[in-house]
Every structure is written in C-alpha cells, then in structure tokens.
A and B are shown apart, each in its own frame.
Chain A
C-alpha cells in the first residue's frame, strides 16, 4: 500500500512536470529553427534533427524597416506601465487597507467589510465590460493609444489585489505596535510610516509581486486601448502570430517576454518556504 502510494505520487509529479515544461522545451527548440526545419517535418533536437540558426533571435533587435520585429520598445512600455500602475496601486491600496484594518467605518449600513468587498469585487468586472466605455472615454480626452491611459486602466485591475493582500496582512500585525507608537508621541501618520510600514515589508513584497504578475500578463486592455503609437509586449507577440507564422521569431520573442517573471516564481517559493505567504494569502 505504502510503496504503491509512493510510486503513484512520484509518477504523478513527474508527469505534471513534463506537462509544465513541454511548451517551454518546444519553444526553445523552435526558436533555433529556420523555414526548412519548421515546414518540412516536425523536428525536435538541434544538430540531430535540424541545423540550428540564430535567425529567430537576431530578428528581435532589428528595426521593422529591415524585416525585424523590434521588441525592445514594447518591452520598455510593458515595464513602464506595469511598474507605474503597480506602484500607484500599492501606495493607495496599502493606505486604504491600513484604514480598513485599524479604524471602524460606519456610514449608514456600510461597514468595513463592505468597503473591503467593494475594493475586491472590482476583480469580478469582466475586462470587456470596462473596455468599451474606456475606449470611448479615452478617445474623447485624447488618451487612447497612450501610456498614461493604460496606467489609469491598470490601476483598476491591480488595486483590488493590493487591498486584498494588505488588509489580511495588517490584520495580523499586532495593534499594540501602533498603540505604543502613539503613546510615545507619534501622530497617526508617523506611527504608520515609522512603525507599521517597516514591519510590513513581507506583505508589501507579496502584494507587489502579485500586482506585477497581473499587470504584466494582461493582454486585453492593451489590445483594445492601444494601436500603433504604444504597443505592449503581449500585443506585439500576438500580432506576430497572425502573420505568416515565422515560428522561430515567434518562439524567441515569446521566451524573452515570459522570462523576467519566472524569477518571481523563485521569490514566491522562498516566501512560501519561510512561511510568510501563509498568512498573506488566506
């Protein structure tokens, strides 16, 4: 029984690992191919199955005029939009979460939980519902196809995440901490800034990581609200997809686009093992 279970367990883990890794291996292999080795028959292993070339990777840094893809500008656009929106969401979300965790609000029938729920419930909003009015709204004020327009929209996507994680986190930071600071003569802002905030670094890091993940992987808003002036990474890569399937440059650009966040997986695992995430994600 026990032995059977162990065999079952390891085969399941191995199988799942293969499933997860398969598309990455395929993409790596494809990125070194050329027209011949993609279109004649299915090939897998470089040198053995096909002669590898660097064409797919070289195209990434060439300008479009010379037949390249030019992924550099979308890359920086994506980084800018994700980081700016995450930063604003974290700052505003943390302040709001602190208020919701420490003070009691009572306006009519609205209590703390209702306000928290209001923040979090914004995630229910399907992107398509927002994108049509945003499309018209941003074009009226001339922010369609601009970075600022995107940042504004991304705040709606990310602030709920920041509030969700930080409310739970502050609930576990003992209240005595701020009370002592207040008795020592701090005003509430100093107590928050000097005492509570330094003790909330793990929570802030987790919230920040989640904001960055969900900002970086968004496609739909970027797809609808930008055209030519500003292009974000996912839109750029998907646009490649619709042309005549140069699979090698497609794979290379896809790998380059997903690479930075894979580092986040290591950070998340570290926090998980140290037990810091357990509370923050409940």
Chain B
C-alpha cells in the first residue's frame, strides 16, 4: 500500500487535537511561572515562587487532593461491586431482563449537574422527601448537606447513582462476550455457582474489569459537577475537591498564575498516579 495514504487518514484528527491542545498546555506552564492576578493581569516572570508556595504553604490544596482520592476511590469501588453484581444478575435469563437492563442504564444518560439539582431538593433537610420519609419511621432528621462528614457520603451516594450504570454497561458487555466453553466445562465438573464465579467468571473478566475500573477512575478524578451543585465544596471545605479548589483560586479570586501552578501540578500527579494504579491493578488481578 502506498506509503503516504496512512498519513492522510491519521493526520487530520491528530493535528486538530494537537492544534487545540498545544497552546493551552504551553500557556499553562508559562502562566504558572507568572504572578498573574486581578491586580497585575500580565505575564510577568516570577520564577518558581508559585511552586514554592504550593509545596510549603498551601495545606488546603493537599487536603482537597486527599479528599478527592478518597471520594474517587470509594465511589469507584462501590460502583464496581454494585455494577458487577447487577451485571451478573441480568446476564442470564431472568424475568423482565430487558426492562431492568434499560432501567439500570438510565442514570448515565442524564446530565450530572441537572440530576444533582434534583438530588439537592431530594436531600433538602426540611422540605426534602428523604428526611420526611425517615421521620415517619421515627428517624431524627439527618443533616445530609450541612454536616461535614455526612455531606461526603451524600456526594458518594449521588456519584454512585450517576455512574454505576457505566460500570454496569462495560461489565455486562464484557460478560456477554465471554466464550461459552469454560462454563460448560465447569458445569460438567459439577461446580457450584460460587466456585464457578471464583474460578471461571472472575478470572475471565479480569482484563475487562481492569479496563472498566481505570476508565471510571479517570472520570471520577474529575468529580466537580456534583460537588459544585450539591454542596459548593461545603460545609466549610468538607467536600472541596482539587478541581473545585483550582476553580476558586483561578476563576473566583483570579489568581491565574497560581491556579495554573495548581493545574499543572495536579495534572502531573494525576498522570503518574493513574499509571501506577493501572500497573498495580494489572499485577493484582491477572495471575498467570
């Protein structure tokens, strides 16, 4: 095949993507070395002052980062367990199989911010239905959004509602593509359903599981919409994630230079940690 054709196919997409991205990335790096803020909105050069500030004098960023790690890992673990369970349940014949499959998929089709607006009225502490229903069975009103600890769990509940369907979809698609023979062999050996799962289904699903978990971790690390609408990072900074903190620094306080420093550091940490997680998961789940 002619040598030049392959570039005709590849280059339009590649160059459009690079063309859109190259400026923002270089600009972010340059901006992170400047003191651009609302008083001096210009590209001066202040060296690594911003980076020194970040690493020595900004516990709020690191707290928001650990909070983000906690939120994203716990939501993804929950989504994986529930999503896998649901996928296993509607994998084989059950009554109303297609109905349940559609229902289980619906949340991921809905806009997270818009559903969060609904959830906010749902969790409303005096006018929401949840506290009202709990009150009818004698439970004291729960401070879903204004207690620093409970607010984190409220965010987790909404995230699990929103994104378990995606995990479910990836895992069910994986289950449906598995070969039939290993299951036949296990059935002939008279293996119980539990043993079948441990020795056949789960190992066969390992590569798909890893893929699904990593995709979800990447997306979960961007938790922002939910927090923004549900709690605005509050109460205090109890649900503030990295993205939200950068947003406050950059586009509310207009410390553009410092926000760029935060963004760039955050991006580097994300890339490194996701690569490590991918490697570790692959080692743990695929045993020769």
Contacts and interface: CB of A to CB of B under 8 A. Distances in A.
Contacts of B107: 20
Interface stretch (B45-53, B112-120, B180-188, B279-287): B112-120
Given A92-B12, A132-B28, A234 B263 contact: no
B229 interface: yes
Contacts of B176: 272, 275, 277-278
B180 to A, nearest CB: 13
Contacts of A122: 17, 21
B21 A129 contact: no
B1 interface: yes
A47 interface: no
A220 B177 contact: no
A273 B86 CA distance: 16
Interface string A1-19: 0000100010011001101
A272 B24 contact: no
B10 A99 contact: yes
B103 A17 contact: yes
Nearest to B131: A42
Interface string B6-25: 11111011101100110111
Interface stretch (A59-67, A197-205, A258-266): A258-266
Interface string A85-128: 00010001101101110110100000000010001011111111
A23 interface: yes
Interface in B105-156: 105-115, 117-122, 127-129, 132
B109 A262 contact: yes
A115 B6 CA distance: 13
Interface residues of A, number: 94
Given A96-B13, A100-B10, A129-B264, A136 B27 contact: yes
A264 B28 CA distance: 37
Nearest to A266: B102
Nearest to B101: A269
Given A20-B104, A123-B219, A254-B115, A159 B109 contact: no
Given A16-B82, A38-B127, A237 B114 contact: yes
Contacts of A9: 89, 94
Interface of A: 5, 9, 12-13, 16-17, 19-23, 26-27, 30, 38-39, 41-42, 44, 88, 92-93, 95-96, 98-100, 102-103, 105, 115, 119, 121-137, 152-153, 155-156, 159, 163, 182, 188-189, 192, 213, 216-217, 219-220, 224, 233-234, 237-238, 240-241, 245, 247, 250-251, 254, 257-258, 261-262, 264-266, 268-269, 272-273, 275, 277-282
29 contacts: A20-B161, A23-B122, A26-B129, A42-B129, A92-B12, A95-B10, A99-B6, A100-B10, A103-B6, A119-B14, A126-B242, A126-B243, A126-B266, A126-B270, A127-B222, A129-B263, A132-B250, A133-B260, A137-B24, A188-B1, A216-B111, A217-B110, A234-B113, A262-B106, A262-B109, A265-B109, A272-B172, A282-B174, A282-B211
Given A129-B266, A272-B101, 13 more contacts: A13-B86, A16-B104, A38-B127, A92-B16, A95-B10, A105-B6, A126-B270, A129-B246, A135-B251, A156-B21, A233-B111, A269-B101, A278-B173
